[in-house]
Structures are given as C-alpha cells and as structure tokens.
Amino acid sequence: MLKQFALVASLALFPVAASASPLPSYPFVHVSAEASRYTTPNIGAIDFMISASDADPAQARDTVETRIAEVRALLQEQGVPLADLETRDVRREPGMDAAGKDTAQELRVSVHLIVRDLSKWRAVVAPLLVKPNLNGFATSFDITERDAFEAALMADALQDARRRAEIIARGARRKLGAVTGVSPGGVKNVGTTMGLVRPDFSYNRSKPSNVGARDFLNVDALKLIQPVDVVYKLE
C-alpha cells in the first residue's frame, strides 16, 4: 500500500499545466481515508405492505382498511403516536390469491412506521409479523444525534488522511503543506436494510412465515463509515 502511495506522490511532484490536465499545477499529494465507529441505535422504522386479493374490489378495500385499523389499535395500545404511521402508494394491480390463482386485482398499500422508543420495538413489531395480509417487511435503525456523530467521524477521517499524507511526504522528502481540496463521501449505515426515511425503498416480498422473526425483532448495532478524499500541497 505504501508503495502505491509513494508512486502517486512521485507523479505529483512535477507541476502539470492547467491547460493540459485538470490536475493542480503545483506539487501535491492526494490521499483517501475513512473512519468508522459502532454505535447503538435509538430510533427504528419498519416498512411493510398490506395486500388483499379479491375479485370484488370493495371486499379487497375492506380487508386493507381492517388491517390498517388493527395496526392503529396496536400503536395506541403501545403508546406509539399515530403521526409516526404513514400509508402511501395505494395501488391496484393484477394479483393472485392464496392458492396461486389469478384474481381480478390486488389492492396494495405501503406502510412506513417509525418507532422512536426502541424499548417498545418488540411489542410493536412482533404482532405485525403474524397478521394476515402483511408482507414485504424491512427494518432500519438510526441515531437521533446523527449530525454530532458524523462530525466526529469526519474529524477522525481527516486525522487519518493527514497521517497517510505525512507518510507519503516524508517518503518523497517533501514537507506537507496546506489542504487544497477535500471531498467527503456520504456516511454509510451498513447495519441497516434501508435508510430510515428513504423514498426509493424496494420491497422484498417475503412472508413472515418464511423469514425468521429474529431478523426483524433484533435491534442491531450500527456501523457508520465516513470516507474522505484530501489533496495536500507539497512544499
């Protein structure tokens, strides 16, 4: 890895004409670094779909409305604000019944539920997994103090970048100068299935009976990663 860095530094020691290349016209070194931390989430979300297959459109709607009412009752029982429940993307599509036969249509409603008190997570999620007509479950977790956490990650990543750059500068017998460019990457939450409020959510249509409840009931630690690219001037 150090040999690769040294090669990059040696190539950057020679000024490059601005008209011939987008590279800086002064000697420089470019490094990529990242920082990562584990943390315990304090907010969660579950997305799922309510679907009803019935040749009678009115009956399908009744089924969906009944399930929505049951979900609302569950939230009230657990003290979860109804404002954190969102139903969206109501649509009718060709569907199949439980026997796999084509039906005239299938009514589908996407549901997004935020649980701000994770002590209630299991009490809320477990009943949802066994309700009929509910499928396509996906869960995600996050932290409410994300801005402060990301700021700390960025500081760690920049410190690592400078350490790497100083190694290269010493190897090239140069002095590390000022920062002339920084490009941060987005913080990636690799401990979740989806972003907490991601609009482009893609459903994995799995029935609860085919997926272990543990996959949805556990609150897993999050690993957050902050990459950064930095350009330093070499003196």
Report percent pLDDT > 90 for the chain.
Answer: 51
In this predicted model, which residue has the larger pLDDT, 207 or 33? 33
Whether 177 is covered by a domain: the verdict is no
Whether 50 is covered by a domain: the verdict is yes
Give 46's pLDDT tier (boundaries 50, 70, 90).
very high
- The residue among 113, 130, 110 whose CA lies nearest residue 204 is 110
Cα 184 to Cα 34, 104, 158, 178, 187, distances in angstroms: 9, 51, 10, 17, 9
pLDDT digits (tens, 9 = 90+) for 69-103: 999 999 999 999 999 999 987 777 765 555 666 65
What CATH number does the domain containing 73 carry? Answer: 3.30.70
Question: What's the rounded Cα separation, in Å, for the pair 12 and 169?
Answer: 11
Q: Is it the case that residue 68 has pLDDT exceeding 50?
A: yes
pLDDT of residue 106: 82
pLDDT of residue 100: 64
Whether 158 is covered by a domain: the verdict is no
Whether 68 is covered by a domain: the verdict is yes
Whether 38 is covered by a domain: the verdict is no
Beta-ladder partners of 36: 225
Q: Indicate the length of the chain as a whole number.
A: 235
**How many domains does the chain divide into?**
1
Give alpha helix (H) positions in 79-145: 121-129
Instruction: Give the position of tokens 């401990």.
Output: 191
Calculate mean pLDDT across residues 126-152: 91
192 DSSP assignment: S
Whether 6 is covered by a domain: the verdict is no
Whether 121 is covered by a domain: the verdict is yes
Whether 60 is covered by a domain: the verdict is yes
Owning domain of residue 219 = 43-144+191-225
pLDDT digits (tens, 9 = 90+) for 119-129: 999 999 999 99
Mean pLDDT in the chain? 79
